[in-house]
Amino acid sequence: MESLTIYLIAIPALLVLSVVASKGAGRFGIPGLSVFLLIGMLVGREGPGGFPFTNYQMAQMLGILALIFILHSGGLGTPLADVRAVRASGLVLSTAGVVVATALIGVFSVRFLGFDWLHGMLLGATIASTDVAAVFTILRSRSVSLQGRIRPLLEIESALNDPMTVFLSVGLLQLIVHPSGASLWRLAPMFLQQMTIGMVAGILAGHGMRRVINWAALEFEGLYPVLSVGLVVLTYGLTQAIGGSGFLAAYVSGIVLGNQTYVHKRSLTVFHDGLAWLMQIVMFLTMGLLVLPSDVSRVALQGVALSAFLVFVARPASVLVCLTPFRFSVREQLMVSWAGLRGAVPIVLATYPLIAGASGARTIFDLVFFVVFISVLLQGTTIPVVSRWLKVAAPLTKPFQYPLEYTPTPGLKSELTEVPVPPQSGVVGRTLVDLNLPAGALIVLIRRNDEVLVPRGATCIERGDRLLVLAERQGLERIRAILSESKTIS
């Protein structure tokens, strides 16, 4: 009973400390993820906390569970237009880019770090992919804003490269543990299967989630988050069971669901955002607990060399090869290279060799942790500076929240959508009553600069206004057409 009480005090205290410390670090431009890792190390075996945590299997399971919710939450906040703009380049960068980076890091590890070919390639595959938790956290913070296709490309790459990384890491690990019975080429069809099934399952699950949430009509509003959590984990589990990538399904289902209207959408989105943050804190704290600072210090020189090669050679080369055909400028490619953060995913992957008892597993784990810590601390801290230096920074805009939440009901087909007034629109200067809106459509609010206006028929439209419209889909299309007309409405 006393041990339970200690845990009930220590765990929430760590969560509170992590949140408070991340806010303090944010004032100095230090990413919160590096703070979570550091706190985990301080609480661990060789820190002041002295907590003897060595359960790699539990850490791996926590990491997988955390990634499920982080990916789904990231998908909920991804506009479909962003996906369409970078779907081809994102797919190439998240697959071929991982292969190129793995090969380059593998060669470097063999030539300069003393690894054999299989272990060098395993190390390369483990740290070749960008991390969804790190990328989403840094890019969706209030201190970073990037132009054009850069941000959606980085987010989609980080979400899609997990299947390729897992495929390469697991395949190479099997070659090390069972050299006579394993073949990387035999696993290639499995990778294609996982990607295809994961994509299809994610699309179907996203539409299915919307139907279930709208159909449920639960008596208590607090049950909707419970239902949503169950659906997300079920999507991952079923997809894995039929041979697909559960991570990909979790992300795609979030995109599909987030771009539709459903009951309690706003509250569920906020819930999943908070859950994703909780998962990130738990995951990075756990990974910090696993590390022995004395072991990491022994590979510090190798870690510095590996980090420098990854940041300045392997990552830029993979970006150059993959993005040049898609006409990304040199500045954009450099920004994509620098913002390719490593995070908890490589550390989770580094636990696989440890659990399998592979030779050299501890060295790989320590090197991966060192590279991740340097990546989050160095690259994560300097992304705003580098984006301004490369002239790809976009003006920072505060997320706007309307003072109401629309909760659709099964019998109501209308959607509440914000529609911007184009700068050259012919409706500028006209009143709402002159717009000839379709039947059943209603202008609920007008967002003008940082103010919200309650409109009346005599309210005039001004340049830069954003209209909060309640209408069915056909009505919304008609309103967009009206606002896009350049001639004055008669």
Laid out side by side, the sheet with 451-453 consists of: 415-420, 466-471, 442-448, 451-453
Taking only the tens place, the pLDDT of each residue in 33-60 is 888 989 999 998 888 888 888 889 999 9
Whether 112 and 193 map to the same domain: the answer is: yes
Confirm whether 360 is domain-assigned. yes
Query: In terms of C-beta density within 10 A (0-12 exposed, 13-18 middle, 19 or more buried), how is residue 48 classed?
Result: exposed
Confirm whether 164 is domain-assigned. yes
* Nearest alpha carbon to residue 249 among 212, 280, 207: 207
- Report angle CA 358, 34, 151 to the nearest 5 degrees: 100
Helix (H, G, I), strand (E, B) or coil at 397: coil
- pLDDT by position in tens, the chain (length 490): 567 888 788 888 888 888 888 887 777 677 788 889 899 999 988 888 888 888 899 999 999 999 999 999 989 988 888 888 899 999 999 999 999 999 999 999 999 999 999 999 999 999 998 887 788 777 766 566 788 889 899 989 988 888 888 888 988 898 888 776 556 667 678 888 988 999 999 999 999 999 999 888 888 888 999 999 999 999 999 999 999 999 999 999 999 999 988 888 888 999 999 999 999 899 889 988 988 888 889 999 999 999 999 999 999 999 999 999 998 999 999 999 999 998 888 988 999 999 988 888 999 999 999 999 999 889 988 888 898 899 988 776 666 677 776 666 666 677 788 888 887 888 888 888 888 888 888 888 898 887 888 888 888 888 888 888 888 888 888 888 888 876 544 4
pLDDT of residue 490: 45
Confirm whether 6 is domain-assigned. no
**344-356 vs 361-374: helix axis angle to the nearest 10?**
170
- CA dist 371 and 311 (Å) reads 10
- CATH number of the domain to which 427 belongs: 3.30.70.1450
Whether 206 and 129 map to the same domain: the answer is: yes
pLDDT of residue 104: 97
Sign of CA dihedral 428, 429, 434, 437: positive
Confirm whether 254 is domain-assigned. yes
Whether 343 and 210 map to the same domain: the answer is: yes
Whether 275 and 383 map to the same domain: the answer is: yes
Tokens of 462: 């001004």
- CATH number of the domain to which 88 belongs: 1.20.1530.20
Number of Cβ within a 10 Å radius of residue 9 = 10
Whether 93 and 212 map to the same domain: the answer is: yes
Whether 421 and 354 map to the same domain: the answer is: no
**Number of domains the chain contains:** 2
Tokens of 436: 């000839």
Confirm whether 4 is domain-assigned. no
Helix (H, G, I), strand (E, B) or coil at 443: strand
Whether 357 and 460 map to the same domain: the answer is: no
Tokens of 485: 């007309």
Confirm whether 18 is domain-assigned. no
Confirm whether 46 is domain-assigned. yes
- CA dist 483 and 421 (Å) reads 6
Instruction: Kindly write down the DSSP assignment for every residue of 253-301, as one continuous string.
Output: HHHHHHTS--TTHHHHHHHHHHHHHHHHHHHHHHHHHH--HHHHHHTHH
Whether 302 and 342 map to the same domain: the answer is: yes
Confirm whether 3 is domain-assigned. no
Query: If phi over 0 gives left and psi between -120 and 50 gives alpha, with beta otherwise, what is residue 357?
Result: left
Whether 215 and 278 map to the same domain: the answer is: yes
- CA dist 111 and 468 (Å) reads 60
Residue 419, beta-bridge partner list: 467
Tokens of 410: 């099964």
The alpha helices in 128-264, defined as continuous H runs, are 132-139, 150-177, 184-216, 223-241, 246-258
Whether 445 and 302 map to the same domain: the answer is: no
Taking only the tens place, the pLDDT of each residue in 216-273 is 888 888 899 999 999 999 999 999 999 999 999 999 999 999 998 888 888 899 999 9
The parent domain of residue 471 ranges over 415-484
